[in-house]
Amino acid sequence: MSSASEAAKQAILGAIRAAQPDASRVAVETITQRAQALALEMRAVRPQPAIGPVLPAFLARVASDKVGASVACIADLHALPSTVAGYIAQHQLGARIAVQPHPQLLALDWGALTCAEQLRADETLAISLARAGIAETGSLIFHSGADTPVLQAFLPEHHLVAVYARDLLSHLEDYTDSALAHGAAPRNVNFITGASGTTDIEGVLVRGAHGPRALHIVVVMNYWSGH
């Protein structure tokens, strides 16, 4: 490289460095305020699709061909074990289930079902509790943590997910607004929209290519604290 080219390169890199803010001089509070201000600006200019009431919109979206999940509603979380038993009977699955180690799920009476202590790579059915649902896309949201293993949503062949009706949101931005309001972000956030599928080979839809082959969502109408 000629000296002139090297000088031009260094000039460009120098201009980029000079334009960058000095992160050491910017307080965390200032960065948070700027992020919140940007979120408010986006909310003011983004289009607002008319999706109607959140619950029926969510149910319709997840059952649509584009999402391809099955869905049901139950009165409260205590009805979940019988719902799981019915799903097992319908699909002729075994009695073993991998239950997410969430306190509310662990407190339920699972009866004759065998709750696995550890998730296997070839797990048939996993039971989870989502943090939220998005009516606009039919997505479920999971935050990683001690009671929410990430692989719970990816390893089983069938994934049965409960979500409280009170935790359904209209749009994806409603979740981001809520996440900003609650401060610290989780290490990992997963958005699950339908069962795993791919059309990479000759345009033919294949389920279960990268995750669960079937997704069944159970909307819980009444919240239970687990006590």
Give CATH superfamily name and number for 54-220.
Answer: NagB/RpiA/CoA transferase-like (3.40.50.10420)
Determine the average pLDDT of the residues in 50-54.
76
| pLDDT at res. 207 | 67
Query: Where residue 102 falls among pLDDT bands split at 50, 70, 90?
Result: very high
Strands (E) located in the chain = 70-74, 96-99, 114-115, 125-129, 132-134, 139-143, 158-164, 168-169, 189-192, 197-198, 206-207, 214-220
pLDDT tens profile 165-184: 999 998 888 887 776 556 66
Other C-beta atoms closer than 10 Å to the C-beta of 221 total 14
Extract the tokens encoding 46: 């983004």
- Residue 206's DSSP bridge partners are 198
| Residue ranges of domains in the chain | 3-45, 54-220
Q: How far is CA 55 from the centre of its chain?
A: 17
